Amino acid sequence: MNKPATQHHLFTSKVLDWFQTHGRKDLPWQQNPTPYRVWVSEIMLQQTQVNTVIPYYQRFMERFPSIETLAQATPDVVLHHWTGLGYYARARNLHQAARQLVADHNGIIPNNVDQLSELPGIGRSTAGAIVALAHRQPATILDGNVKRVLTRCFAVSGWPEQSKVKKQLWELAEALTPHKNTNVYTQAIMDLGATVCTRSKPDCPACPVTVQCLALKSHSISHYPGRKPAKALPVKATVMHMLHNCHNQVLLEKRPPSGIWGGLWSFPETPDPEEFPAAIVCARELNESQRWPTLRHTFSHYHLDIMPIHQQVDELSDKVMESDRWLWYPLDQPVEVGLAAPVKQLLQRLAQAVR
Ligand code: SF4
């Protein structure tokens, strides 16, 4: 097994060689790559693919050929030239940063990552791309394309946005970025991710680092990059009382108009299985209550563990039933009312159980 430094060197030289024959060299921002032109392209490319960006970029450059013209424009005009490209905060930040640079720095775009990263809308990777591609100085990028190539080739597991994984990827990206020809390598690694090591169908036979790629070797390409871990949902619990009278009817309560299951019919609930629903204490319990297995219902923000309790009861007083908050639901002749999903399920089970 080769040492990591040798592996890194091999990777870098393979990617650089590949770029000579397969890299993209005719992109509009590669012609006359001034810091301003590269900056605008990097911002447009942040969430958008190259082919979509090209016509927008050309129109934008015709209208705002320099940082000064951009700084002088009104926000409306800038947004107008961004219309259809989406993620408009990018345009607002770009405009604001241009005004800031013109006002405080004579319109000169910084040539180091730290100063660039202080400007609105420029993160560490975008700053690295501007320094490498426009200023032609050593700097590292780690955009989505690069993350995909590196996680696969070096089998870096875990979600790339997780701080531990991110740190590992930045260290790897820095170790791979050459001090000479940084601009070529930067374009090459972006191109490799965008055209060969694509998200769903990587073209491994055309890849220059096939021999090194650990994901390919272990047939686990689809595991990289790792997905965002699903957030563990909190669990809440409730007790639903299925109060059943001698006419084979079950008592339902209308829920308040807002909140979960707003306006739907549900069983009376209590937090505690030993408690009887307070509003209907006048019902007489005719036998031992029966606890049913817990039923889990999942909302987008939490799981609700429902403990159903079946209880045979006497009639309720007329006073209680006068209110349109209560309904005796006939189990053998279901009526058309809005039911919360688990309530519907429990009513069906109950109907079967008493058949
Ligand atoms: Fe991506 Fe395939 Fe190349 Fe590995 S061999 S880096 S999976 S294209």
Integer-rounded Cα radius of gyration of the chain: 32
**Same-domain status, 199 and 283:** no
| Domain identity same for 248 and 159 | no
The answer to whether residue 230 sits within a structural domain is: no
The answer to the question of residue 229 being in a domain is: no
Q: Is residue 157 part of a domain?
A: yes
* Residue 334: predicted pLDDT: 75
> Which CATH number goes with the domain that contains 158?
1.10.340.30
Is residue 160 a contact partner of residue 169, using CB atoms and an 8 Å limit?
A: yes
Quote the ligand 1 centre to 343 CA distance (angstroms). 50
Ligand 1 contact via 249 beta carbon (within 6 Å) = no
The rounded Å distance from CA 54 to ligand 1 centre is 27
* Atom from ligand 1 closest to the CA of residue 192: 8
Q: Looking at the structure, tell me whether residues 276 and 148 fall in a common domain.
A: no
139 neighbors 131 (Cβ within 8 angstroms): yes
Q: Are residues 216 and 267 in the same domain?
A: no
Question: Helices 4-22 and 163-176 sit at what angle, rounded to 10 degrees?
Answer: 70
Answer yes or no: are the C-beta atoms of 92 and 81 closer than 8 Å.
Answer: no
Q: What pLDDT does residue 318 have?
A: 57
Q: Is 152 in the pocket of ligand 1 (CB under 6 A)?
A: yes
Rounded to whole angstroms, the Cα distance separating 297 from 341 reads 9
Active site members: 42
Q: Please give the mean pLDDT across all residues of the chain.
A: 91
Query: How many domains does one find in the chain?
Result: 2
Angle made by CA atoms 51, 160, 47, in degrees to the nearest 5: 25
- 87/165 Cα distance (integer angstroms): 26
Angle between helices 89-105 and 35-45 (to 10 degrees): 160
Shared-domain flag, residues 39 and 179: yes
Residues 246 and 212 in one domain: no
Q: How far apart are CA 288 and CA 268, in angstroms?
A: 18
State pLDDT tens for residues 51-98: 999 999 999 999 999 999 999 999 889 988 998 888 888 998 999 999
Q: Which of ligand 1's atoms lies nearest the C-alpha of 224?
A: 7
Do 214 and 267 lie in a common domain?
Answer: no
Tell me, yes or no, whether 140 and 199 share the same domain: yes
**pLDDT of amino acid 355:** 75
Mutate to test the pocket of ligand 1, among 213, 217, 222 (most ligand atoms within 8 A of CB): 213
* Ligand 1 pocket member 213 (CB < 6 A): yes
* Domain of residue 310, residue span: 235-353
Cβ of 192 closer than 6 Å to ligand 1, yes or no, is no
Q: Hey, which of 176, 209, 222 would you mutate to test ligand 1's pocket, going by the most ligand atoms within 8 Å of its Cβ?
A: 209
- For residue 194, what is the DSSP state? I
Residue 91's pLDDT is 93
pTM (predicted TM-score): 0.69
pLDDT at position 281 is 59
DSSP states of 91-125: HHHHHHHHHHHHHHHTTPPPSSHHHHHTSTT--HH
- What pLDDT, on a 0 to 100 scale, did the predictor assign at position 86? 82
Q: Do 71 and 159 belong to one domain?
A: yes
Handedness of CA 200, 203, 208, 212 (dihedral sign): positive
- pLDDT tens, N- to C-terminus, the chain (355 residues): 567 888 899 999 999 999 999 999 999 999 999 999 999 999 999 989 999 999 999 999 999 999 999 999 998 899 889 988 888 889 989 999 999 999 999 999 999 999 999 999 999 999 999 999 999 999 999 999 999 999 999 999 999 999 999 999 999 999 999 999 999 999 999 999 999 999 999 999 999 999 999 999 999 999 999 998 888 889 999 999 999 888 899 999 988 887 788 888 899 999 998 887 776 755 566 677 889 999 999 988 899 999 999 988 876 655 566 678 888 899 988 777 888 889 989 999 999 888 7
Q: What is the pLDDT of residue 295?
A: 95
